[in-house]
Structure 1
Amino acid sequence: MSAVLSRRGVLAGLTVVLFSGCALPVIPKRPAPKLEDALGWIRHDGAGLYTLWLPRVEMGQGILTGLKQIACAELGVAWDAVTVKLPSTQDIPRVKATVGSDSIKDYALPLAQGCALLRDAVARGGFAAAGDKPPTPRWPTADRPDLRRPPLAQGEAIVTGRPLYVADVRRPGMVFGRVLYAPLSPEFASSPRAFDEAAARALPGFVALVRSPLFEQGQARGIAIVAATPGALDRITRALAVQWQMQTPSVGGRELLDVDARLPHAVHDDSVPREGAWDVDLRFDIPPATHASIEPRAAVAEFDAQGRLQLWVGSQDVFYQRDVVAKRLGLDDDEITVHSHRLGGAFGARTICTVELEAAVLARAVGKPVKVQWTRAQEFAQGFHRAPSRHRLRVRLKDGRLQHWWHAFASAHVLFTNAAMPPWMQSVSRFIGDAGVARGAKLPYRAALRETRFALQRLPVLTGPWRGLGAGPNHFAVESTIDECARLVGQDPLAFRLAHVEDARLARVLQRVAQAANWGQPLAGERVGRGLACGIYKDMSYAAVVADVAVAPDGAARVLRLWCAHDCGRVVNASQVRAQCEGNLVWCVGMVLVEQLPFEAGEVKAASFADSPIPRWGDIPQMHIELVDEGDAPTGAGETAMVAGGAAIANALRAATGVRLTSLPWRPTMPAQ
């Protein structure tokens, strides 16, 4: 069966039949935005002023600015005439999670139509209605020079440190909580066995020790402390000295991923003959990696005298937080109001309910507002991470062209994350695959026969959506192999790709990046190399990247320059799209040269960025971003460049050293030729 069936469709159907009687976790509801919804996002306040309730979560991607541009253009008003607010669950109808780089693609048109209706209604002194036919939307770059480069919404507040994030929330009488878990993956059973409650209570700032069956993650059971100040939490934790009852891990980590075993899920299903020699035969090993959001996740919860809950969150899906907390605490939806805040990074990490439920349980237990903010160590140990994967790619070539393409890979789950789904529910993926794992595995080049298959394995490390999902790892393996094919037949990597490419827009970004980087021009210096890669994100957005790298005598590698041609259709805010490209490219530098999450014996072995580093300022190269906008419908920019940046750097390393990078990240001790 194809790996691309929707998760919602499967869970609505198969799970009812296969798992009748099992407790079903809360499933996210993700309705497509419509004009009727958009009429609730934009409101006329009188005197030519408007309020836009943002139907997306702002997490650094600039969608607050982009959707405000569209609103101002359609309403025909100045920038300062529209105030943008992040809504609560009481302010607008349900919207789907902010995921998948789809905010402009899915929300620009309904918002533009809604604003156009409201504009005409205000002009005639009436009200916009869903039955009214909206005029043709105008785009902000078409005839409004003042909207082409507007100020960054909330930009001044960020620079001056005004409160924007959930960590900035202060409530009268607020206290601070933390839920403690064993230093072991929640895939293994653990629970508190003994602790020194008297020593904890004796410390200044101690408020409460709370035990609840709701403090659970997988098979892990926790215990919580509440303190008067954030600083007291560490002291109380040390004094409590919890001793844990822990199951001894009986399984390993990504060594369980076997690309030579049965591969039930197909992306390309031609039958490539196994007998005979292969011209290229490569294996790639992609480790787990953290999201590394600079702001650790946090939540504030407060119950009023009538038992209604106010919940302040930094989440990619505030309605899902309401659904989960309501179910777990036995509340009705109208008894909870969830307030959205700007996120200091998310990248797929904040799609499930964690600190939000913890804060709500503690607030009910102590009768006071409670803030819970994870430490960096908790982010590593209790959050989910990039799914590790292993790949084997084998290719036969004929007359300088791809003849047989065979790609086998095994991965931990992405959309069917083990951070939220028990084994019985995740087993549905045995039948339909995991579209997040499959993302980016589709070969965009011509070949006589193409076979791409994958297998899924639940691992002890928590895995789930990570920027681009499978697109980064899968394209890394594919584009590294394509580069090796070009080298084997003695062709220029650009010419080889253009001879095989099936999509005109992909060919266009290849040509544009090659022109920008002066592809083919010799590089000066020893052990300096240039690499190229490209790809398509979600069958809708395109990117190609050229990378220059230098490798020192001791093997240490540094990216010197990156060029990126990026096609996400119509561009609303060029500055923000360039910023998204740059952010993706920094992630690619980290993916290839820096990042991995150490995991041994069922435990994440990292407590800080010293243990699981991310790129630093000195690692960031010069970047040139070429935006390709030929008037196509807008698609997504938030994750697109992940399809090309990593492999371009690896291909440059190959050019500089003769070494094909097959296990991430690059290490200076790797052999050099």
Structure 2
Amino acid sequence: MAGLSNSLKDNPRLDRWLKFCDDRTVRVGTGKVELGQGVLTALAQIAAEELDLRIDQISMMSGNTAEGPGEGYTASSWSIEHSGGAIRLVAAEVRELALKQAALRLNASPDELSVVEGVFLRNGTPTDFDYWAVAGDLDLAAEATGTVLPKSSNTYRLVGTSVPRLDLPAKLTGSGFIHDMVLPDMLHARTLRQPGRGATLAALDEAFVRRKAGADISIIRIDNFVAFVGADETAVRAAAVAAADCAVWSDARILHPEQATAKWVAAQPSHDRLIGAPVEEPAGAHGASLTFTRPFLSHGSIAPSCALAVYRDGALTVWSHAQGMHPLRDNIAKTLGLPPENVTCHHVQGGGCYGHNGADDAALDAALLARALPNQPIRLMWRREEEFGYEPLSSAMTVTVHAALDAGGRPRDWTTEIWSAAHGQRPGVGGAYLLAADAMKEQPPERKPFDIPLERGGGADRNGIPLYDIDAKRISYHLIHDVPVRTSSLRGLGATLNVFAIEALMDELAAREGEDPVSYRLSTLSDPRARRTLEKAAAMAGWSLRDAGGAGRGLGIGLARYKNSSAYAAVVAAVEVDEAVRVTDIWCAVDAGLVINPDGIVSQVEGNIVQAISWTLIEEVGFDPQGISTLDWQSYPVIRFSDIPEIHVELIEADQHEALGVGECAGGPTAAAIGNAVAHALGIRICDMPMTRERIMAAALNA
């Protein structure tokens, strides 16, 4: 099985991936899930292409632990590379098995047969046989061999076209999200959140809570996990709000404002390691160093986390919008002490979140209540305050980039030094667990320091190695373990600040040599795809007309290959700066290799750009003694539609290459382009994100 992808090695049976259904469709299974990125449409295109079917002859089954393949988490822009690659191989192999079976039935050579919309043609003439006529004779319980070559890209008819999104009709008509899901006799639930690991509920005025609810509710307490359940959703929400006001906790978590800063995080004890080339020499007199920071960030999920669960006859069924149904099943089973085979998890699409928000935790909340109330479907949704206050955050970071230079002013030795808490703590990864497990009498053990290894994409160190031609490159990583809040994955992980820092220093080195930033980059960049992407973005933006800057208007550029293994993206940003930064235009060029759905990729890149603008200019989590203080859209604002610039995205023709993960490729280059544009506009560099009015004014006063 050496020729199989990891997804097929882990899920070798063909019937986990593909099934011929009685309604004359083909059900295609995937462990990857739809988060708003359009991945199910793209995967359906891949399957339909290999099977010679119409797109409407494919039905997608996603995130189903009972029947579908387990592919871990939908993360790191791997869905097309991993699941798409597996589906392509499976569909090609099943098509060949079906052709051989049809040839036997028709007493023909397989070479005489072709397939059009599932019907077998013999020498171009339709026969009475199709896939469904021979499906019963196919052994799909067999394991994939990976020996059947998929189609050549020059024969594609669906792949490479902008097939309309399959998930949009339901979403546009009010039935596409888990929040819309209704089960018979369903009860609603809200929680009283434990304020930190080890906090104990000392008192709760249940009579007061019931009065405030204004309708019949049940109060469920399991150790220090408390929830309110009833038929009236408004009543259980009112109960949760009242309980938060009157609950008395001992040993509650206390936070301090300074703990929310990157400076405080970087000052904590760390676990240190060196990745890459040994240290040759410091920057010294013939080099340069700059330090950059960003704060803790929230996912800012528009829809609060939600889950449904029912427990019947010893079996638990959970519906969730989390990003990995098989890991979720295993973690729920472990926490509840159930055999994994007694837990089934189904993915239902949510409001969208690129990273690890509260969805997994809400699923355990619902599961705990379902077991406490057997045979009763439970719908549990977090309140907005919970979503901001208890989801895992993206860690605050500090990054210092050091470059030693050669005689021509080009970097010959580079160190990216990073201080950060972990970015990879999804449940089951590195000993991480679901939130309510902390409230149980027998708590899980403390987590040990862990972040995603660089060979699997990296965590805080993601994209810490520059793409440029430098003799010696390394990352000095200081992993901080003891931060007072949970940290985990947010779109791009550490790549955003790492690219921001690397590209800022490249601009500074170009300025030191009196050279144009694009020309300087090209002089130390041999990767032809990277060069082409950079040149394309510069041409799109009219870079050759860029002025000297310093008059409040600026043009900046950023370049990266996501994880140094996925899609290439170059971004140019135009900004106007007075007391605040306004991004007026963005130009982005992307090389994603073989493009499955052009509209889908452009939408993904545009969304990534918008989110990166928001991170760079606005978003910042705050702490106070009661906990996280940024609990609503006033205290944690995100970018408004009125502040979104004109965005121009172009895809570079690269169909001769394999499809590359694209969903997170533009985030770091966008942040870098904005940072460099602001420096061009002001003549001074803002090194701390977000680049707020206060930071701009302070930098101007200190210039």
Deviation of 1:177 after TM superposition, in Å, equals 1.6
Deviation of 1:135 after TM superposition, in Å, equals 4.0
Matched, 1:328 2:328: no
Provide the secondary structure at the position in 2 that maps to 1:71. Answer: helix
**Number of residue pairs aligned between Structure 1 and Structure 2:** 630
**1:263 touches 1:408 (CA, 8 Å); kept in 2?**
no
**Most deviating of 231-240 and 521-530:** 521-530
Deviation of 1:450 after TM superposition, in Å, equals 3.8
Matched, 1:643 2:690: no
Deviation of 1:32 after TM superposition, in Å, equals 2.7
Provide the secondary structure at the position in 1 that maps to 2:8. Answer: coil
536, 551, 568: which is aligned to 1:512?
536
Aligned counterpart, 1:538: 563
- Cα distance change of structure 1 residues 247 and 360 upon mapping to structure 2, 3 Å threshold: closer
Aligned counterpart, 1:255: 263
Within 5 Å, which residues of 2 pair with 1:278-289? 279-289=287-297
Aligned counterpart, 1:453: 476
**Most deviating of 327-336 and 65-74:** 327-336
Within 5 Å, which residues of 2 pair with 1:72-83? 72-83=48-59
- Cα distance change of structure 1 residues 310 and 606 upon mapping to structure 2, 3 Å threshold: same
**1:313 touches 1:341 (CA, 8 Å); kept in 2?**
yes
Aligned counterpart, 1:92: 68
Aligned counterpart, 1:171: 183
Measure, in 1, the Cα distance between the counterparts of 2:281 and 2:90: 55
**1:196 touches 1:239 (CA, 8 Å); kept in 2?**
no
Matched, 1:244 2:253: no
Measure, in 2, the Cα distance between the counterparts of 1:42 and 1:75: 11
Within 5 Å, which residues of 2 pair with 1:271-670? 271-274=279-282, 276-277=284-285, 279-304=287-312, 306-350=313-357, 353-367=360-374, 368-397=376-405, 398-416=407-425, 420=432, 424-427=446-449, 435-458=458-481, 459-522=483-546, 526-540=551-565, 541-552=567-578, 555-601=579-625, 603-630=627-654, 631-669=656-694, 670=696
The alignment's TM-score, normalised by the length of structure 1, stands at 0.87
Q: Which amino acid aligns with 2:448?
A: Q
Aligned counterpart, 1:50: 26
Q: Over residues 46-74 of structure 1, what are the superposed CA-to-partner deviations in whole Å (9 max), with x where a residue is unaligned?
A: 57532223332011111110011111111
Aligned counterpart, 1:13: none
Measure, in 1, the Cα distance between the counterparts of 2:628 and 2:147: 54
Measure, in 2, the Cα distance between the counterparts of 1:172 and 1:210: 21
Matched, 1:208 2:221: no
Q: Which amino acid aligns with 1:297?
A: S
Measure, in 1, the Cα distance between the counterparts of 2:661 and 2:534: 18
Provide the secondary structure at the position in 1 that maps to 2:576. Answer: strand
**Most deviating of 638-647 and 137-146:** 137-146
Provide the secondary structure at the position in 1 that maps to 2:201. Answer: strand
Deviation of 1:523 after TM superposition, in Å, equals 5.8
Within 5 Å, which residues of 2 pair with 1:29-40? 32-34=7-9, 36-40=12-16
Q: Which amino acid aligns with 1:399?
A: G
**Most deviating of 258-267 and 348-357:** 258-267
- Cα distance change of structure 1 residues 32 and 122 upon mapping to structure 2, 3 Å threshold: closer
Any unmatched runs of 5+ in structure 2?
103-133, 434-443
Measure, in 2, the Cα distance between the counterparts of 1:400 and 1:109: 43
**1:38 touches 1:111 (CA, 8 Å); kept in 2?**
no
Any unmatched runs of 5+ in structure 1?
1-29, 214-220
**1:287 touches 1:597 (CA, 8 Å); kept in 2?**
yes
Measure, in 1, the Cα distance between the counterparts of 2:49 and 2:580: 50
Deviation of 1:665 after TM superposition, in Å, equals 0.8
Provide the secondary structure at the position in 1 that maps to 2:16. Answer: coil
Q: Over residues 419-449 of structure 1, what are the superposed CA-to-partner deviations in whole Å (9 max), with x where a residue is unaligned?
A: 9367754236699999311111012223354
**Most deviating of 633-642 and 407-416:** 407-416
Measure, in 1, the Cα distance between the counterparts of 2:452 and 2:308: 38
- Cα distance change of structure 1 residues 465 and 635 upon mapping to structure 2, 3 Å threshold: same
Q: Which amino acid aligns with 2:459?
A: G
The alignment's TM-score, normalised by the length of structure 2, stands at 0.83
Measure, in 2, the Cα distance between the counterparts of 1:205 and 1:396: 69
Identity of aligned residues (%): 29
Provide the secondary structure at the position in 2 that maps to 1:285. Answer: strand
- Cα distance change of structure 1 residues 141 and 456 upon mapping to structure 2, 3 Å threshold: same
Deviation of 1:587 after TM superposition, in Å, equals 1.4
Measure, in 2, the Cα distance between the counterparts of 1:145 and 1:247: 56
Measure, in 2, the Cα distance between the counterparts of 1:105 and 1:80: 23
Measure, in 2, the Cα distance between the counterparts of 1:104 and 1:510: 24
Q: Over residues 323-361 of structure 1, what are the superposed CA-to-partner deviations in whole Å (9 max), with x where a residue is unaligned?
A: 112122222223222121123212111598311111111
- Cα distance change of structure 1 residues 620 and 238 upon mapping to structure 2, 3 Å threshold: closer
- Cα distance change of structure 1 residues 380 and 403 upon mapping to structure 2, 3 Å threshold: same
- Cα distance change of structure 1 residues 324 and 429 upon mapping to structure 2, 3 Å threshold: closer
Aligned counterpart, 1:63: 39
**2:263 touches 2:398 (CA, 8 Å); kept in 1?**
no
Matched, 1:148 2:148: no
